């Protein structure tokens, strides 16, 4: 849809002609963007999604590194909005891999005819609020522009890849890449000397998979992680039938838990049962697939304190049991942070990789990486010659991808400046001075799709409220925002997620303010809060 606007806008002094006009612009065609598009279209809005990638899928489009897969159950990750989709789609594995997940999202895009409203290969470089017209003007890298009353940033929480500022990267003679921008045609690693920097959830998946084919692997580890066996398996025909018959119960379970996963904590404290009973439960859950090991465990295993340390000891011993060389084993055992204070990777043979003769573990906390050289990686102690370097060094989480968009609100204020000391929003969704902008990526917590669907529903209903009541603007009030920022700091200080240096608190990015980047509350609490806000006529929001 395009029209000829013969006017000068506050968004720029140029004459604006032939700018495509929509009710809503969605940035990103990943899990949340696709659903936003579907939902808003159903509600009668004209929508255009701009996607930087050459295909839909977001995280599952970009992160095509070997080993990339779910660690929450596949059938808890799919959309719930269409019974037909649920019955048509067969998840092949309990923890589905990237190729299948990307296929699923493409299937969704086709089934609901979403592609006609998605412009691919479209990197947004700025979004400016036109105060006279109450519309956002979005500028793409290729010169294309579009305008809409509402702007939704469905840009993901882990999409702005982070590569440490090592000197000499460009001098490296071999191939290198970041896991979040894995080449579509893959990387030829067979028989090569490969170095991986980073041992977070990504590094753990990648290392396990590529260790099967590389000639030699050097793993540069700064912090050892608590990793637990994923125990993935194919879904057989009987299981498939059972899953399809029990989606309502599966989703109901997910909606009742703090992180929207299908596992409920044991309401007992680990410390109130006998040591024998405690160990029996630890062992029983350890033998189970996925997150059950901690999310179905004694509730206080995932809280700072005695139970947490007791379980950490159990996990440390599980790691030691699997690594032949006791020196290497001790390097792989985490001792500097609490169990669960960083994201817990699930693995499928990670520790055994370090029993291979062609794998070397290098401690870069002890001897940090000094630079990348033409031949490889130089640490304080040695130079490691490599053909390929893979940066599994994570993401500038949540705010990184928002700031990259150069979003300018009322009075030319930028989101970058406003978020300099951490995100300033109300419930992660809206920021004062940025009317009609919904930062959906900053509000999701836990199991992504389970969190995203109700969030998108809420935002869509808020837009309907604005439309139906002939308002032109909606945004958080400064008071509501201040109270939320205070709440995040206070409640966040008490939870496990803020206790270590990780992306949860922005501590993985040098110079980034250390602030909890998502809500400190559980998913049910957040849904109830949003429902109450809406029921009270969007309390905490300024409607104009
Ligand atoms: O990133 P990370 P990730 N020198 O930030 C190291 C999700 N996810 O991509 O721990 C040396 O966790 C850094 O070291 P340290 C999941 O939510 C999900 O792995 O900071 N090393 C760390 O080891 C996850 O949490 C799945 O000391 C440096 C690593 O790089 C999130 O994505 C799979 C360094 C970065 O780890 C991010 O995970 C994969 C330096 N200068 C990911 N700088 C699923 O299973 C950084 N590091 C669904």
DSSP letters spanning 46-115: -EEEE-SSSSS-THHHH---TT-B-SS-HHHHS--S-HHHHHH----BSS-BHHHHHHHHHHHHHHTT-G
Instruction: Please tell me the predicted confidence (pLDDT) of residue 441.
Output: 83
> What pTM, to 2 d.p., does this model score?
0.95
31 lines ligand 1 (CB under 6 A): no
Residue 136's H or E segment, with its range, is: strand 135-140
pLDDT at 263: 95
Report the residue among 178, 202, 392 best suited for mutation to probe ligand 1: largest number of ligand atoms under 8 A from its CB: 202
Residue whose CA is at the smallest distance from ligand 1 atom 10: 223
Is 96 touching ligand 1 by the criterion CB < 6 Å? Answer: no
- How far is 399 from 509, CA to CA, in rounded Å? 11
Q: Is 53 in the pocket of ligand 1 (CB under 6 A)?
A: no
Q: Which residues on adjacent β-strands are paired with residue 197?
A: 220, 391
- C-alpha span between 84 and 509 (Å, rounded): 43
Is there an atom of ligand 1 within 6 Å of 407 CB?
Answer: no
Q: Name the residue with the closest Cα to ligand 1, atom 48.
A: 70
Contact 257, 295 (CB under 8 A): yes
Report which ligand 1 atom has the smallest distance to the Cα of 70. Answer: 48
515 lines ligand 1 (CB under 6 A): no
The residue assigned the tokens 């500038």 is: 396
pLDDT at 7: 41
Query: Does residue 362's CB lie within 6 angstroms of at least one atom of ligand 1?
Result: no
Question: Residue 67: which residues within 8 A CB-CB, separation 6 or more?
Answer: 205, 206, 207, 208, 209, 210
The class of domain 17-160+397-543 in CATH terms is alpha beta
Tokens found for residue 415:
């989101």
Q: In the numeric block, which tokens belong to residue 130? A: 């036109």
Tokens of 51: 């996607």
CB-ligand 1 contact for 392 (6 Å cutoff): yes
Q: Is 125 helix (H, G, I), strand (E, B) or coil?
A: strand
Residue 147: closest CA among 360, 436, 376 = 436
Does ligand 1 come within 6 angstroms of the Cβ of 199?
A: yes
Å from CA of 181 to ligand 1 middle: 14
Q: Write out the chain's pLDDT in tens, 544 residues.
A: 333 333 444 444 445 557 999 999 999 999 999 999 999 999 999 999 999 999 999 999 999 999 999 999 999 999 999 999 999 999 999 999 999 999 999 999 999 999 999 999 999 999 999 999 999 999 999 999 999 999 999 999 999 999 999 999 999 999 999 999 999 999 999 999 999 999 999 999 999 999 999 999 999 999 999 999 999 999 999 999 999 999 999 999 999 999 999 999 999 999 999 999 999 999 999 999 999 999 999 999 999 999 999 999 999 999 999 999 999 999 999 999 999 999 999 999 999 999 999 999 999 999 999 999 999 999 999 999 999 999 999 999 999 999 999 999 999 999 999 999 999 999 999 999 999 999 988 776 778 899 999 999 999 999 999 999 999 999 999 999 999 999 999 999 999 999 999 999 999 999 999 999 999 999 999 999 999 999 999 999 999 9
* Cβ(542)–Cβ(470) below 8 Å: no
Q: Which of 193, 165, 158 is nearest to 179 (CA)?
A: 158
Please work out whether the CB of residue 253 comes within 6 Å of at least one atom of ligand 1.
Answer: no
Task: Using the mean position of ligand 1's atoms as its centre, give its distance from the Cα of residue 533 in Å.
Answer: 35
Give yes or no for residue 164 CB within 6 A of ligand 1: yes
Answer yes or no: is the C-beta of 369 below 6 A from any ligand 1 atom: yes
Burial of 247 from C-beta contacts in 10 A (0-12 / 13-18 / 19+): middle
- Cα 490 to middle of ligand 1, angstroms: 26
> How many whole angstroms separate alpha carbon 91 and alpha carbon 108?
14
Delimit the domains of the chain by residue range: 17-160+397-543, 169-237+262-391
Q: How far apart are CA 246 and CA 241, in angstroms?
A: 9
Integer CA distances (angstroms), 181 to 60, 100, 217, in order = 11, 18, 20
CA distance 96 to 42: 29
Mutate to test the pocket of ligand 1, among 222, 291, 390 (most ligand atoms within 8 A of CB): 222
**Whether residue 227 has its Cβ less than 6 Å from ligand 1:** no
In ligand 1, the atom with minimum distance to the C-alpha of 391 is 30
Verify whether ligand 1 is closer than 6 Å to residue 209 (CB atom): no
**How crowded is the C-beta side of 313, counted as CA atoms within 13 Å?**
7
Compute the distance from residue 54 Cα to the ligand 1 centre, in Å. 25
Within 430-527, strands assigned E span: 437-438, 474-476
Q: Are 255 and 447 in contact (CB under 8 A)?
A: no
Does the beta carbon of 73 lie inside 6 Å of ligand 1? no
- 445 CB under 6 A from ligand 1? no
Residue 393, sorted as left (phi over 0), alpha (psi -120 to 50) or beta, turns out to be: alpha
Distance 519 CA to ligand 1 centre (A): 20
* 156 pocket-lining for ligand 1 (C-beta < 6 Å): no
Locate the DSSP E strands across 380-496. 383-385, 388-391, 407-408, 437-438, 474-476
* Ligand 1 contact via 397 beta carbon (within 6 Å): no
């Amino acid at each position: 849809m395009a029209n000829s606007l013969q006017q000068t806008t506050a968004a720029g002094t140029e004459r604006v002609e032939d700018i495509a006009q929509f009710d809503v612009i969605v940035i990103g065609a990943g899990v949340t963007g696709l659903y936003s598009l579907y939902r808003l279209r159903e509600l009668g809005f004209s929508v255009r999604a701009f996607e930087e990638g050459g295909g839909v899928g977001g995280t599952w489009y970009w992160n095509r590194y070997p080993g990339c897969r779910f660690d929450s159950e596949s059938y808890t990750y799919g959309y719930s909005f269409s019974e037909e989709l649920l019955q048509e789609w067969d998840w092949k594995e309990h923890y589905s891999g990237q190729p299948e997940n990307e296929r699923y999202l493409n299937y969704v895009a086709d089934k609901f005819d979403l592609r006609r409203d998605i412009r691919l290969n479209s990197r947004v470089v700025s979004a400016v609020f036109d105060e006279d017209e109450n519309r956002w003007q979005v500028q793409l890298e290729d010169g294309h522009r579009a305008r809409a009353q509402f702007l939704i940033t469905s840009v993901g929480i882990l999409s702005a890849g982070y590569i440490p500022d090592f000197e000499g990267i460009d001098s490296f003679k071999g191939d290198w890449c970041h896991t979040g921008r894995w080449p579509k045609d893959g990387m030829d690693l067979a028989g090569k000397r490969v170095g991986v920097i980073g041992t977070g959830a990504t590094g753990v998946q990648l290392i396990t998979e590529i260790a099967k084919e590389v000639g030699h692997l050097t793993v540069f580890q700064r912090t050892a992680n608590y990793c637990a066996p994923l125990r993935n398996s194919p879904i057989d025909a009987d299981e498939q039938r059972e899953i399809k018959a029990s989606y309502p119960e599966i989703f109901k379970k997910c909606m009742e838990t703090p992180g929207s996963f299908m596992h409920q904590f044991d309401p007992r404290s680990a410390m109130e049962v006998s040591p024998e009973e405690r160990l029996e439960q630890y062992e029983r859950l350890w033998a189970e697939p996925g997150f059950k090991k901690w999310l179905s465990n004694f509730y206080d295993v995932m809280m700072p304190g005695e139970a947490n340390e007791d379980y950490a000891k159990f996990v440390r011993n599980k790691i030691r049991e699997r690594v032949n060389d006791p020196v290497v084993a001790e390097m792989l055992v985490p001792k500097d942070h609490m169990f669960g204070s960083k994201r817990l990777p699930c693995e499928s043979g990670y520790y055994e990789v370090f029993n291979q003769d062609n794998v070397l573990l290098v401690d870069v906390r002890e001897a940090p990486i000094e630079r990348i050289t033409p031949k490889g990686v130089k640490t304080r102690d040695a130079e490691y010659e490599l053909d390929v370097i893979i940066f599994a060094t994570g993401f500038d989480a949540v705010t990184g991808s928002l700031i990259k968009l150069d979003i300018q609100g009322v009075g030319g204020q930028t989101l970058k400046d406003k978020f300099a000391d951490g995100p300033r929003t109300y419930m992660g969704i809206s920021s004062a001075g940025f009317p009609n902008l919904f930062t959906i990526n900053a509000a999701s917590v836990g199991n992504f799709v389970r969190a995203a669907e109700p969030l998108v529903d809420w935002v869509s209903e808020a837009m309907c409220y604005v439309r139906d009541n002939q308002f032109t603007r909606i945004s958080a009030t400064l008071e509501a925002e201040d109270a939320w920022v205070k709440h995040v700091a206070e409640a966040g200080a008490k939870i496990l997620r803020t206790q270590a240096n990780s992306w949860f608190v922005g501590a993985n990015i040098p110079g980034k303010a250390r602030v909890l980047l998502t809500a400190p509350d559980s998913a049910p609490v957040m849904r109830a809060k949003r429902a109450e806000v809406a029921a009270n006529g969007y309390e905490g929001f300024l409607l104009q």
